[in-house]
Amino acid sequence: MPVLGVTSSPDASVGPKPRPRTGVVLATLLTCQLMIMVDVTVMNVALPGIGSDLDVGATGLTWVTHGYTLAFGGLLLLGGRAGDLWGRRRMFLTGVALFTAASAVGGLAPSAAWLVGARVVQGVGAAVAGPNALALLTTVFTEPRARMRALALYSGMAGAGFAVGLLVGGVLTQGLGWRAVLFINVPLGGLALLAAVRCLPAVPRRPGRLDLPGALTATAGVTALVYGFNRAATHGWGDAAACLALGAGAVSAVAFVAVERGAAQPLLPLSLFADRDRAAAYANVFVGYMASIPMFFFLSLYVQEVRGLGALATGFAFLPTAALMFALIQWVPRLLRRFGPGPITLTGSVSMVAALVLLTRLTTGTPYVPLVLAAALLMGCGTGLALMPLSVVIMSRVPQDVAGVAGGALQTIQQTGAALGLSVLTTVFGAASRGAAGPPRQVLVTGVTAAFTAAAVMAALTIPGTLAFRRRRRDEP
């Protein structure tokens, strides 16, 4: 077999195709998704302990989070396409194994460099496992209603994972130390691997060849953009390295589109965006994650630095958001079948805007109840209704031969949107803080509320996208 070519034979890593046990398959894929998304935020609460234990400064600590997000975001398209060509089950198993092993190595880290290296490998594993888990889900669940429910569950794990990461990070860091944040992935990953080996079905490979020019330009472009946004968030938009990275990312993105337009077997078929509903969903994923995910960062900053909450209490502050998102998972498929995506996502977008507007009213003395609690509940409802249906819209009717890359595109857009949102809002926060007067806590509140004001504007930009969805007939799945 050629190095870059594949045949249409079944995935060679398995024998005869088993009949999938859908309950176990779904639990396995959801566990994988939760692990991957939790690890985007789980280290945030643990950073002070890491800095003290490994004697690393603020710059080094940023790479504990950036190392993961750069590898994850930069390789998602490639990981999804590799599954389409070389076997989704095989690539999923490879990604989960890599993620689990890197978690164990990171938990044993004697130095910051060791830990950052482990986080990068974790990101690579997540980029390989994530899109193929989503593609496997669309393969196993073929009945429209069952697929819609499974996609809603998967999307709920994606959104709630950010909030759960802060909760889990707080509980583990305060109770067992920061290393437990990494070690917890080992038993979870091991169980997911065992279940996957036994229950995941063999999926035929798709004939084709890897689009190397597309892979190189996509990986370089997304990595440069995510790095540039992260760099701008910590060093400002005038930073030369941030500007250079963003410029390189923009050039690579243009080159990628040009390559894909002329490629016989593109890494990302542009036809994915020809469908009106799918294109609107991708756009709202980008803008929605810009507005919602940085909210966890700034609200965490507020409750810790202004209200003086510890790691555990900070994690529990986000429990209502995560709990409401999980509660909505069972309702979203029913609502989608009855009303279609437009009214549901519009309701969610309005709820998101309302939550962020409430948070602009924070002061140095604002108690958790009622304002912060109300905002947390509204954000849980908003992200659940505004973002959860988008995965269903994108993946429910995607052609099977590009399901992996469609899932990779979805998660790439999520990560890029979150990175851009954080960098923009950090800039707003810094500018407002520098222009504020008063004691340190008041200055911080001024910066945080300015960031929430900008986030509310971003969230409002999702509303036009909700109006672009076609109306669905009630009998349409």
Exposed, middle or buried: residue 257 (CB in 10 Å: 0-12, 13-18, 19+)? middle
In this predicted structure, the answer to whether residue 313 has a pLDDT above a threshold of 90 is no
Q: What pLDDT digit, counting tens, does each position of 180-233 carry? A: 999 999 999 999 999 999 888 877 666 667 788 888 898 888 888 888 887 887
The single residue listed with the structure tokens 């940085």 is: 294
Cα atoms in the Cβ-side hemisphere of radius 13 Å centred on 77: 26
**Burial letters 402-434, b for 16+ CB under 10 A, else e:** bbbbbbbbbbbbbbbbbbbbbbbbbbbbbebbe
Alpha-carbon torsion, ordered 413, 381, 136, 162, to 10 deg: 60
Per-residue confidence band for 20, with pLDDT thresholds at 50, 70 and 90: low
Say whether 251 sits in a helix, a strand or coil. Answer: helix
Say whether 208 sits in a helix, a strand or coil. Answer: strand
Q: What pLDDT digit, counting tens, does each position of 51-65 carry? A: 889 988 766 777 888
In this predicted structure, the answer to whether residue 477 has a pLDDT above a threshold of 50 is no
Say whether 268 sits in a helix, a strand or coil. Answer: coil
In this predicted structure, the answer to whether residue 9 has a pLDDT above a threshold of 70 is no
The whole-number pLDDT of residue 59 equals 67
The single residue listed with the structure tokens 């024998």 is: 15
DSSP state letters, 41-78:
HTTTTTHHHHHHHHT--HHHHHHHHHHHHHHHHHHHHH
The whole-angstrom separation of Cα 152 and Cα 159 is 11
Q: What pLDDT digit, counting tens, does each position of 123-137 carry? A: 999 999 988 988 888
Q: Cα–Cα distances in Å, from 83 out to 87, 158, 203, 214?
A: 5, 20, 10, 16
The whole-number pLDDT of residue 6 equals 39
Mean pLDDT of 78-103: 91
Report the mean per-residue pLDDT for the chain. 85
Per-residue confidence band for 8, with pLDDT thresholds at 50, 70 and 90: very low
Mean pLDDT of 9-28: 61
Mean pLDDT of 60-81: 84
The whole-angstrom separation of Cα 253 and Cα 245 is 12
Question: Please, what is the end-to-end C-alpha distance for the chain in angstroms?
Answer: 41
The whole-angstrom separation of Cα 424 and Cα 417 is 11
- pTM for the structure as a whole: 0.80
Tokens standing for residue 113: 């460099």
- List residues bridging with 209 in a β-sheet: 5
The whole-angstrom separation of Cα 73 and Cα 422 is 15
228: enclosing H helix or E strand: helix 212-235
**Contact criterion met (CB below 8 Å) for 384 and 325:** yes
Exposed, middle or buried: residue 46 (CB in 10 Å: 0-12, 13-18, 19+)? buried
The whole-number pLDDT of residue 250 equals 93
More confident residue, 45 or 19: 45
**Contact criterion met (CB below 8 Å) for 30 and 218:** no
